[in-house]
Structure 1
């Protein structure tokens, strides 16, 4: 039996009971109102009947307590219609929370891109999603306000530069726009994946609220010319100097260089296969003779699984291990205070671009996109082009 629920007076006359009162919206589509106690505002629920299977899934819609009583029926009907439309398009009736959506996406990454990439997104979810109220929200109930609240809190949370150090030695800095973009991208990817799986009917909650900050990435300001790079290497401890020589010879990210094993270098062909990198896939670099000889010496008498670059104690390099020694070496020889490992990559890319190498090849060597190279280094090519045009003057 259906009842009238579209007026406040009609709902106030209903007796409290556990079973919802049902209002028929369309064939197989029911909107329910549950009133558990006298004086309560009540909650809304939708029920759908699948004509083919006979199944009758339900979806809790909430109380809509943020709306005036006279608007709650319309708000509940709108939410129910969206859910009915979702099911009618073949969408899932399974109730998936934001946390579950993130877990599902991490499993998808594990199956398609491997454990390392999956663990990276899992770590971001553990830090920035799982402990937050947004984690428990079911996707159909997720709103733009929920996402914006989460984003504002994340943007205001400082970044711990050296999280593995003792607590008294940890350093915090304000979260940069690029850091915010990286963490938002993980959540956005999980929600988009849930949308693709038809676990939510639309992406209105996050389409704008999780939009990346434009022009967040800024070019590395510190450029070291060849003499400065040599000076930095000379001033560094032996193990760090070897690592910096590798960075000076190839435009790799420090983490990618630190992860290289002996098996990644094909000595017979002078080819290095770079694996761990943001590019997400292996890429092969044909090395010039001097650089190949450098890697041959590093690989000498080591098994294929051994790291090419290690600290003096034989352990792997991490960003927390090279940051302070580089700062000390730079200060010793009067280099800029903000000299970091990535300055060597920036310097190498700068030299390749100003040397006339086409941007596609520079991007392939660097493990990044042509768009990124153009954004940060395109002005260097403009200067190069102007100089070339000058030669045409009569």
Structure 2
């Protein structure tokens, strides 16, 4: 039968001063089978942690007691800090035991690779063809290529380690959050204990006040299209696109100013012809949690509606609106059409779009994103309130002000000039003095 451990008072300096120095630490139970210990030596005290049963205890030195020096939470600990450090060690041992109970301890790499495989399989099943998930590329670059981090065993993960990994991600805030969310999901699926899941949750939590808003590329004159240039570019795309797939996508980019990632999710039901508007899905960039914002109603002209109506007839409202042909290589350089499906990546439009820009003899700075820049600047110059411009383009007022300041100033000056009225007295005919002839 295990003997009962007699607790010693260790919670204050005065209580510890009354203890006699001895070779073995004094212990105080903080949980069943778990103790925090205090060794009183001739040159000061030291904190220990102990777990297990008599004869099979595991012990760990935690740090110096704050008998002389003030506690700093690192190497000089108060009684409360020693308790916290002991519990951290107990949890780490529990995680290690759980992991080893299933065989070799799982690593971050193994957890991430399983997660990527599951995500790719889910997308492949949904699309009916082999598809790589967005998580695959992001996690490979930021986790799997980092050998020191990826080869760590799960039970060795700490809050500080995870926070350090996250802080070193040299990417935009929205991208950092997406990578973090993917890693968190991968680790949680493989975590052997609730204690480790708490470490993952705290270590990968967003710092208070951190923005997850998608960054907008700053606009300058070389990236903008006048209305005539927009029409010229759209004509070049139309002439080089016999199926009209790229043309319809580009037309919607120009008419709505929406991002590719939003437009690729349009459904047939999002075209509201009677009201001359498109219900543009809200961007998923920078989203935290599962809440989904409502679609943004964006007015368009009858010409845009007329271009879209042919691909809406006879189709269900839930079907993807914008599709393109997919090709398979059958022999050498010979490719054949296989099937039609939704656009997947902006890279699919980059080559033909660049060819159209060259055919239209426009500047090298012009890209598909120029449609968005030009739409925002056009709305500002027309005097639309900045808040409305931000809402129509699914961004924030702060983002508009930060990236389009010069164009806002021009637009505000034009608006102010409309309010200018004559102030000085004007000469009238009554002041005309006739000249008499001699």
Above 0.5 in TM-score? yes
Match of 2:265 among 259, 263, 269: 259
Match of 1:74 among 72, 77, 90: 77
Shift of 1:149: 5.4
Deviations 1:128-163 (A, max 9, x none): 3466554656698322x66445644x43xxxxxxxx
Query: Mapping of 1:1-394 within 5 angstroms?
Result: 1=5, 23-24=27-28, 30-31=35-36, 45=49, 74=77, 78=81, 80-81=83-84, 124-125=138-139, 127-129=141-143, 132=146, 133-134=148-149, 136=153, 141-143=158-160, 147-148=163-164, 151-152=167-168, 154-155=169-170, 177-178=171-172, 181-186=173-178, 199-200=198-199, 217-221=216-220, 222-236=223-237, 237-238=240-241, 239=244, 240-275=246-281, 277-278=283-284, 280-285=292-297, 286-312=299-325, 314-317=340-343, 318-390=345-417, 391-392=419-420, 394=423
| Residues 31, 127 of structure 1: alpha-carbon distance in 2 compared, 3 angstrom cutoff | farther
The structure richer in strand per residue is: 2
| Residues 83, 198 of structure 1: alpha-carbon distance in 2 compared, 3 angstrom cutoff | farther
Checking the alignment, whether the CA contact within 8 Å between 1:249 and 1:348 is kept in structure 2 is: yes
| Residues 3, 122 of structure 1: alpha-carbon distance in 2 compared, 3 angstrom cutoff | farther
Deviations 1:301-331 (A, max 9, x none): 4443443322355343331210122122212
Q: Tell me, which stretches of 5 or more residues in structure 2 are unaligned?
A: 11-15, 17-22, 39-46, 53-57, 64-68, 97-105, 116-125, 127-132, 189-195, 286-291, 326-336, 424-438
Measured on the aligned residues, the alpha-carbon RMSD in Å equals 5.4
Distance (whole Å) between structure 1 residues aligned to residue 51 and residue 156 of structure 2: 17
From the CA coordinates, give the structure whose radius of gyration is larger. 2
TM-score w.r.t. structure 1 length? 0.59
Distance (whole Å) between structure 1 residues aligned to residue 412 and residue 59 of structure 2: 61
Which of 265-274 and 379-388 deviates more?
265-274
User: Is the partner of 1:389 in helix, strand or coil?
Assistant: helix
Q: Tell me, which stretches of 5 or more residues in structure 1 are unaligned?
A: 7-12, 15-20, 34-42, 49-59, 105-114, 156-176
- In the other structure, the counterpart of 1:111 is none
Checking the alignment, whether the CA contact within 8 Å between 1:271 and 1:284 is kept in structure 2 is: no
Checking the alignment, whether the CA contact within 8 Å between 2:271 and 2:279 is kept in structure 1 is: yes
User: Is the partner of 1:23 in helix, strand or coil?
Assistant: strand
Shift of 1:223: 0.7
Shift of 1:244: 1.2
Shift of 1:208: 6.4
Distance (whole Å) between structure 1 residues aligned to residue 391 and residue 134 of structure 2: 23
Checking the alignment, whether the CA contact within 8 Å between 2:62 and 2:85 is kept in structure 1 is: no
Checking the alignment, whether the CA contact within 8 Å between 1:326 and 1:339 is kept in structure 2 is: no
Distance (whole Å) between structure 1 residues aligned to residue 78 and residue 406 of structure 2: 52
Distance (whole Å) between structure 2 residues aligned to residue 216 and residue 62 of structure 1: 47
| Residues 386, 192 of structure 1: alpha-carbon distance in 2 compared, 3 angstrom cutoff | farther
How many equivalent pairs are there?
A: 315
Distance (whole Å) between structure 1 residues aligned to residue 208 and residue 408 of structure 2: 36
Checking the alignment, whether the CA contact within 8 Å between 2:276 and 2:305 is kept in structure 1 is: yes
Distance (whole Å) between structure 1 residues aligned to residue 375 and residue 50 of structure 2: 60
| Residues 298, 205 of structure 1: alpha-carbon distance in 2 compared, 3 angstrom cutoff | closer
Distance (whole Å) between structure 2 residues aligned to residue 125 and residue 229 of structure 1: 38
